Each structure stands twice: as C-alpha cells, then as structure tokens.
Amino acid sequence: MSAIALEQPPETSVDWPALRKDFPILDQEVNGHPLVFLDSAASSQRPRQVVDAIRHYYEHDHANVHRGIHELSNRATAAYEDARERAARFFNAPSANEIVFTRGTTEAINLVASSWGRVNLKSGDRILLTEMEHHSNLVPWQLIAQETGAEIVYWPVVDTGEALDWEAFDRLFTPEVKLLSCVHISNSLGMLNPVREICRRARENGTIALVDGAQSAGHYPVDVQEIGCDFYAFSGHKMCGPTGIGGLFGRFELLSEMPPYHGGGEMIEEVDFSGALYKAPPHRFEAGTPNMAGAIGLHAAMDYLDAIGRARIFEHDAALAAYAYEQIEQLGNARIFGPRNERGAVLSFLLEDVHAHDLVTYVDQRGVALRGGHHCTQPLMKKLGVVGTARASFYFYNQLSEVDAMVDALQRARRLFGDASWNDAAYWQNSSMTAPMKRKGNDLGPSSLMSDLLEVYPWAQRALFRKYHIGGCSSCAFKPDETLAMLCERNDSLDPAEVLQHIRESHAEDTRIQISPKETADRIQRGESIRLLDIRTKEEWDVVRLPAATRMSQESMQDILTTWPREGLMVIYDHLGKNSLNAATYFQGQGFANVRCLTGGIDAWSQEVDSSVRRYRLEAN
C-alpha cells in the first residue's frame, strides 16, 4: 500500500524539551536513575494543564449534569457538552451528536458489538478482524458471534509481522462480511494501517467499518470523514487525558437505529410501568451520571495536543521510533517486530536468549520504564511464535537521549542475561551445591573478587539480580575490585555466605536437564508426567493431566489415581464446568496431600507456564 500523507505542519518549530516541563511526573529518579518513561502506549502522562482543569472543575463547578437548574449544574452541563463539541472538532465529526462518551476504547467497541451487533448480525454473516487486534477489539466480537451465530474470520498478518496480507483480504472480503473492525496503529507491531483504503473497500462491499483508534487518537491527525469509517473508538488516557474517559464516533444514522447499551437515568425521555421512551443519540448511550471531570480533562488534553499539532507529534514520535529501531538493530541478535517504515510510536522487540520479563525488570532498575508481555494481543504473539515481547512506546515528551539511555540499559541486560555459557555443561568446574567453586586452583568464596566470580560464573549475575536486585543500578552495581563480602556489606548488610549459597543453588538448578514449556505441553497431552520446581517457594510438583474427568467411570478414575504420587501433585483438569471448582477438594478426599488444580486443560497450563517463565523449572521425570 502507498505511504500515508500527512498535512504539512506550520513552519514554526516546537520546543520539545520545554514541553517536558508541563509533565512534573517525568522529573524524578527511579532506582537512582533519571526516569525514562517509554510506556505511553499503555497510558500517557498528563500535563499540568489537564490536571489544573480537573482541579478547577472540582473546586468551582462540580454538580450533576442535565438534571438541575441551579447555577453549578448549569456550569457543569455546559462544560460537559463543550467537551463533546471539542471532541467533534478534534476528530472532524460532522456533528457533536455523533460523539458518545464512554469509559474508553474497550467500552466503545463493546457498545457497538452489543447494540449494533445484536440487531444486525445473524447466522451466516461474517465479522472480519485482523490478526493484530487488541483483545478489546477481539473478545467483544467473539461474545456477540456466539450469541448471534455469526462467524469471525481473520485477516492475516504476513509471517514476518511487517504488513497485512492483502491477497488474503481479497479472498476473505466477501458479501457475507457485515462488519470489518481493525486497529489504526497496532499496539504490538506499531503498524500504521491504511484505514482510509480499508474503509473505502468496506463501503464498496456494503460493510460497516469500525476503527480502533486507541493508539492513533493522540498521536495522529485523525479525520473521521476523510477516513470514511462508520465508527471510531478512542481512549482519553492514551492522549494526555484522564483515565475512565473516552468515546465513540458513530455515524448518526447508525446510532439512531441502535438500541440502548445500558439502561437507567439520563438516557430516557419518559418512563412508565409498561416501558420507556429513549433519548436520541448520543445521550441514549450514556445511562447514569457521566464522568464530567473526565470529559473536562479530555477537553483540556485535546486543546493541549492541538496547540502542538498532531502532525508534528506524529513526525516527532515516528522519528524516535525509527532511531530506536536502528539502535536496537545494531545491538545484534535482536528481533524487532513490525515494519521498519510507516509505523507509529511503538517498538516491540526481543533480545536473543533474554526473556521479555527479565529484560523489562532489569532496565527498570536503571530507571527505564518499558512494558513486557503479550500486550493484550495473545493470538498475534502465537502467530509470531513468541510468548511476549519487550515494548518501548514514545510520545512528544520523549527525546533521543532517552532512547540512548534505553539502549545502554539493553546492552547491560544482554551482557547480564545473554551469556551462552549458562547452558554449556563443559563450562562448569563442579556441579555440586556443597563443594567449593574453584577455577585454576583458586577458591571462589566470599573473599574472592567479584571480577573473578562473575568471569567464571556469568550466570551468577542473573542469580544475584533476581533474588537481591544486585547489579541493576549504579548504587549496587558490581565493582570488580571488591570481594563478595564487600559487595554484601555495601548492599543492606547481606550475609555473604547466604549469597554464595544462593549462587551455588542457582548453579545446580541451571545445570539440571530442562525441557521447554511447549515440550511439556506435548508430553502432558500424551499422558506423560512432568516435574515442575517452583524457584520462589522451593516446592516441587508432579504435573499430570486428568482428561474430561466427569465423563469417566468411577473404576477408570480409581485406576488413574493409583498411578499418581500421593503428595505434591499438580493436576491439569480438562473440565470447565462448575464441578471443576471443587477439584482440589475431591483429590484431597481421595488421600492426596498438597494438591493444586489448574482447570482449563492444556491451554491453562501453557498460559500458567508462559506467564511465569522466570518462576518455574521444568524437567522430564
């Protein structure tokens, strides 16, 4: 697809460092380092102007809206409706009556799925979603598809994760597709989707189009009329506004035909014992007392962003993302997700042999705030063959020096976690937990220099960091000319013998034969048992699977139970019904001690282990 053209910003330049002064939260240290906040895709920070607007409302104008005729209520109502008018201008909606205030993007999409979907979808219809959708633009459609009998089809992302598969789109986009919903800027890939072209194709097909604008509303000059979408959802807290406020743009003719989403006060014209007459949009969809302060804060945020210029903001953010892409790429052994060009302010990546959670935990010790995990896009992560990624996300208050600080922390993390000798059995001089650690005849005990200890056992850095957070910040970094005893004295008077014992135990654990989470799932599926060690609690479990227990005879159940160990048992329980809640009690009644049950089958097991990679060791029995 062709590049997306932006409106040209005015000639006047922006003093980006001066804007940072509007965000007092950024002026602080975290773990002894200046805060580098690179997590705005999850939630942006708020400038003083937004905080002041909310404070002024609460101190001078607060009252419930629409329902009173006194002065404070009139002021609050005017401010609330002014915020709606401001949102209409911000997104270039034809009318303020096409802006529905919600708690955010998630509720806005649920509103459309519930109100429009229940009326318009039926068996035989299709819903087209991309494979990169946030759970907020996936689960609501799954729920409504189950209710209406409609089918969800998925528009693939190419295997490299760099673009949508347009050949597949041509095959999938049939007349049966009644609704197409896609993200504007992917929160995991940073991909900037050509929503104008997508919505044009939707109109030609007679398909309703919804755009998830959570990552674009505050970063990009959004014009819903130019895009040509039927619905556009956004969140205030990702665009310098308060939490708990967002909205939905919907074409008025569609909103007028949709039934209420919630019932209660404020959304009615008249009520009697036989029924109710509902207000016209948008108030039809705003039952109950609204978030007045949130709307006022959102108004201030939109004013603030437009004073800078969203085209300028996008170019600034894209430049930061491009620079970060180049710097991380130069680290080597890094996998970066999403396109190199035409991307938003989001950059997801992995460093080879370093789990995303370890990476994010370590850089936090150097003041760098990243996010690690699946980013509410689990199906996409599975498509890409990863459990999760580390993610840096940028905004106009970030600067190049912060990217450099992040890259420096990543380099340190790679040195800490990325040594290939961790799993090289030939590297170890002695695998015993109790024997002294020696190399070239030198006893590496508490009196050894840290440089010697860490040179011989680079994995010991990880052991020290994970348990004691030693090595993550300048105040507790390893000094090569001090002994382990001196290091412990400098760090909260830790006992060097205890620390050394922990290193030895970590050494012994690291040299045990391990198998991957995927292999454990395969083995358990085949009926084999797996040994699981909980590093935090030192508990050990035999992991077994009980397939569809409620459909088995009592005799078959007893035959299975006799083969299981009587203590330290983790049962993967396939049954999803209410009886599964009493599974642990049942097994305890059968004479088992220390039983833990995971309901939901192999999928539940995989999620448990994938989300706790740092906690568990997995071994074949």
- Residue 136 Ramachandran class (φ > 0 left, ψ -120 to 50 alpha, else beta): alpha
Element (H, E) at 365: none
Neighbour-count burial of 353, counting CB atoms closer than 10 A to its CB (0-12 exposed, 13-18 middle, 19+ buried):
middle
Q: Does residue 282 have a cis bond before it (omega within 30 degrees)?
A: yes
Task: Provide DSSP, 475-498.
Answer: GG---TTSBHHHHHHHTTT--HHH
Residue 509: both structure tokens together = 């654990």
Which 8-state DSSP code applies to residue 192?
B
Calpha distance 533→543 (Å, rounded): 10
Q: Distance of CA 104 to CAs 100, 419, 564, Å? A: 10, 43, 49
Catalytic residue status for 473: no
Of 528, 544, 541, 527, which Cα lies nearest the Cα of 593?
A: 541
Q: Distance of CA 609 to CAs 507, 519, 532, 546, 604, Å? A: 22, 12, 10, 18, 9
Of 480, 449, 454, which Cα lies nearest the Cα of 465?
A: 454
| Contact predicate 365/357, CB 8 Å | no
- Residue 568 Ramachandran class (φ > 0 left, ψ -120 to 50 alpha, else beta): left
Q: In the chain, count H helices and then E strands.
A: 23, 24
Torsion of CA 553, 558, 563, 569, to 10 degrees: 90
Q: Distance of CA 333 to CAs 57, 330, 350, 352, 409, Å? A: 52, 9, 9, 5, 16
Element (H, E) at 499: helix 496-510
Number of residues that make up the chain: 621
Q: Distance of CA 454 to CAs 70, 153, 416, Å? A: 72, 52, 10
The amino acid at residue 417 is: F
| Contact predicate 269/334, CB 8 Å | no
Helix (H, G, I), strand (E, B) or coil at 201: helix
Other C-beta atoms closer than 10 Å to the C-beta of 81 total 14
Of 409, 416, 613, 411, which Cα lies nearest the Cα of 518?
A: 613
Residue 65: both structure tokens together = 């809206």
Calpha distance 51→40 (Å, rounded): 17
Handedness of CA 52, 55, 60, 66 (dihedral sign): positive
Residue 75: both structure tokens together = 């002021």
| Contact predicate 552/580, CB 8 Å | no
Q: Which of 376, 476, 488, 597 is catalytic?
A: 376
Task: Provide DSSP, 177-191.
Answer: EEEEEEESB-TTT-B
Strand partners, 247: 101, 234
Calpha distance 530→619 (Å, rounded): 6
**Which letter, b or e, does each residue of 54-76 get, where b requires 16 or more Cβ atoms within 10 Å of its Cβ?**
beebeeebbeebeeeeeeebebb
Please identify every residue annotated as catalytic. Answer: 376
